[in-house]
Every structure is written in structure tokens, then in C-alpha cells.
Amino acid sequence: MPTVLVTGASRGLGLELTRQYAEAPEGWRILACVRAPSSATALQALADSAAGRISIHALDVEDHSSIERLGSELAGESIDVLINSAGTMGRRSFAEEGKQFGRFGDSDYEDWAQVFRLNVMGPMKMAETFVEHVARSDQKKLITLSSILGSIEKNTIGGLYAYRASKSAVNAIMRSMAIDLARSHGIIATALHPGWVRTDMGGPNADIDAVESAAGMRRVIAGLDASKAGRYWVYDGSELPW
């Protein structure tokens, strides 16, 4: 039975990925990681209906000691696919503010620090903590959900400074991981853009829903091999420029 670990599993794409893996015919076991399990009611309901395939684990990706504790709790586990789904655009809301969100001259640098701690340092710490868990699995895949907004070439409208910078930074991290972890552990690491999705973060005017995005991402992940590591994939199987 293959195992997938999903961060940010209480809502949005993390919750939908958890649901789809639980329903997949391959018989996945899901390690669903959330900051506050007691308040993750939708996830708990999903776990209750999943015949033991979903286990819920406390994890605050901003807190490195929390990541280390979970790594110790899961010592000896094999994780075929680790998905860094947890992420943030910061305290304010792109869904509500649109292009005014993250504009030049309106930077909240404490907010920048929180965005980078979750979006950049979080995936790095997860990888360093769980590298052996992934390495001992059959599939050996390490995925971080990025965004088209991290593409420098695709940036034609400006703005969104902190979020763009965090996603460009994590893209660079995933590229280096793809090189280093392939050599040291045979791990396939890559960044994956889920599309503009109708979630709390993406807002109601986004292009696709979470069901379509998660299904597409699962297909991309299933098709990953060493030749596709360290690239910048879209949920529909296309590739983005850096």
C-alpha cells in the first residue's frame, strides 16, 4: 500500500488531495497533516468515512520543532509521495483585493517574514526532516505546490511582491533538491502549479475548482520519473518557464 503525506490537509487543495487519494483504486494510505486537528472538522469527517486509510497528524509547518516532532513520530515509515501543500499569501486577501493586493509601497515586512517562513523555509525543513522516509519508499517523490506567480518570465502585471518572491524562491529550492536528492537518495523532486483554483486563497473568480486541480496534479505526480524531476509543472501536464 503506497503512502502519501499531505500538509495543509484541513481545507482547499490539501483536503481535496486527501479525499482523492483516499478514494483512489491503488489503495493509498494518507498521512493528513494539519495545524489544529481538533478544529479540522471536514478532514475528520473524511477520515471517519475512509476505513482507516487516513490518519490525522498535528503539524505546524511554520514551527520547525513541530516538523521535527512529526518526523520522529513517523520514524520508520516509508512515504512514497510527500506533498508540501500548505501555503499562504499573507494576512490580507488576494481574493478580496485583486491587483491591489501586495502592491509596491504597501509592504508589511513582518508579513513577508511569515510568508517566507511558511512558503519557503517550510518545504525546505520538511524535505530535510523527511528525506529518509521518502528515500526508503518505492516511489520516492517529493512535491511542492508552487504557483505561476513564481515564474519571472510570466510576470507581465507586477505586484504581489511577497507571494511572487516566495514562490520563485521555493522553485529554486526544488530545482536544487532535484539535483542533490537524485544523486544522494534517488528522490524525484519537483515544483507543481495547481492552476488558479477556486479556494479561500484563489477566490471565487478563479479558473478551476479544487476537484479538477487535484485530479490533474495526481496524474502529473503519478507520471513523474527521473527525467521530469526539477522542472516546473502545471496540473494539466504542461510546463512553465522559470
Q: How confident is the model at residue 207 (pLDDT cuts 50, 70, 90)?
A: confident
pLDDT mean over 63-74: 98
Of the candidates 199, 198, 192, 140, the one whose C-alpha atom is nearest the C-alpha of residue 11 is 199
User: pLDDT band at residue 197, thresholds of 50, 70 and 90?
Assistant: confident
Taking the mean position of all CA atoms in its chain, how far away is CA 164?
15
**Domains with residue ranges and CATH for the chain:** 3-234 (3.40.50.720)
**What is the C-alpha separation between 51 and 69, in angstroms, rounded?**
26
Phi and psi of 116, rounded to 5°? -70, -35
pLDDT > 70 fraction of the chain, expressed in percent and rounded: 94
pLDDT at 94: 60
Average pLDDT over residues 167-183: 98
| Predicted confidence (pLDDT) at residue 191 exceeds the cutoff of 60 | yes
Q: Which residues pair with 54 in a beta bridge?
A: 30
Query: At 22, which helix (H) or strand (E)?
Result: helix 12-23
Pairing of strands 188-193, 232-234: parallel
Q: 98-153 pLDDT, tens per residue?
A: 666 678 888 899 999 999 999 999 999 999 999 999 999 999 999 999 999 999 99
**Per-residue pLDDT for 97 more than 60?**
no
User: Across the chain, what does the average pLDDT equal?
Assistant: 94
pLDDT of 238 reads 98
At 208, the pLDDT band (50, 70, 90 cuts) reads confident
Question: If we measure between CA atoms, which residue out of 237, 241, 211 comes closest to residue 224?
Answer: 237
| 25 Cβ neighbours under 8 A, 6+ residues apart | none
